[in-house]
Structure formats: C-alpha cells, structure tokens
Amino acid sequence: MSLEASLDKLCNDLRRLRGVLRDFNVNTQDKPDSESVHLVDDVSDEVTELFGLSEESLSVAEETCRAAEPPFDPSRMRRSLASSQRHFYSLLRNLFSNLLSYERISELVQLGREHRDWRGWVESVRQGLETCKPGVEAVQEAYFQCWQEIAERVTTSPVSLHTTNIGQQITTAAESAETARDGVT
C-alpha cells in the first residue's frame, strides 16, 4: 500500500469512528425522564469528550493527507500525523480509563439493577461501547500502516553521501612501524 493510500485509509477509518462516537453521544444524551443520576451525567460527558477527540484527530489527519500531496512536505506530514495520533491516544486513554474501567462498568451494572427505568439507557451505553471496539482497532492499525509506509519511504529514498578527508593522515606500513618503535602513536 502506498503512503497516500494509507493516509486515506486512516482518514476514512477516523470518519467511521467519529460517526460511531457521534451516534453513541446522541444515545447517551437520550436519558429517561426520571431523576438524574451523577453517574449518567459523567458517562454522557465522557462520551461527548470522546467524540470531540475523534473530531480533533480526524481534522489533523486530514492535514496530514494535504501535506502528502504535491508539493510533498515530509516534515509537516510527520508532525501532523504525530499530532493526530496524540489526540487519538487521548481518546483511548479516556475510553479505557473512564468508560471501560472495571469500576465504571460495575457502577453501570449496579445502576441498571437498582433503577429499572435506567436499564435501557445502561444497555444502550453497553452497546455503544461494544460498537466502538472495531473502529478503534481499525484506526490503530491504520496509524501503524502510515508509520510503516513513512519508514519504508525514508529507507528506500535515494541517499546522498558526502565524504571528506580533512585531518586524515595516510602513512605507509614502514612509517607506521617506525613511529611505533619510537613510542609515538
């Protein structure tokens, strides 16, 4: 796969993940009319944060694609790809630390057990989290593919070598043996 194709795939995978997170965000905002629970507000806020991070990651990834177009700007491309991946890693940290942690899942299960009117919402959150998994995995693989293509491009591009002999002294074997006898190295 070429670098440009890898970058296009990354942007497409990020768009799909953003769509999944947008739908997930809408579903978490659709709460029962009963009394609000602090946990529900926290989860809704965290999903909104994930959606925002996916948008930032996509925006910077699209900048990476533009940097790969003529005139090719490898420095700008690498910087923007790294920035996009940092946003994505923030998304992953939030997802795993705040939503998929044992404590959070336990709290959600407990909420569904204790409050019958919140069971549908809890199930919607569970399904939303499951739906995120394939998208996250695809984006992770796409970033890897992009970095692999960049590395291959760097190692297969023409290399320019310039050597100089400044300060080098060339001696014959006889001169070398003579200086060694005299203790000069």
Q: What is the pLDDT of residues 108-117, one digit of tens each?
A: 999 989 888 8
pTM comes to: 0.79
Mean per-residue pLDDT, 139-160: 83
Q: What pLDDT sits at residue 85?
A: 97
Mean per-residue pLDDT, 5-19: 96
Q: What pLDDT sits at residue 115?
A: 87
Cα separations (Å) of 151 from 1, 81, 84, 86, 148? 13, 13, 18, 19, 5
Extract the tokens encoding 115.
């409050």
**pLDDT tens for each residue of 172-185:** 666 656 666 666 55
Q: What pLDDT sits at residue 95?
A: 95
Mean per-residue pLDDT, 19-36: 87
Mean per-residue pLDDT over the chain, rounded: 87
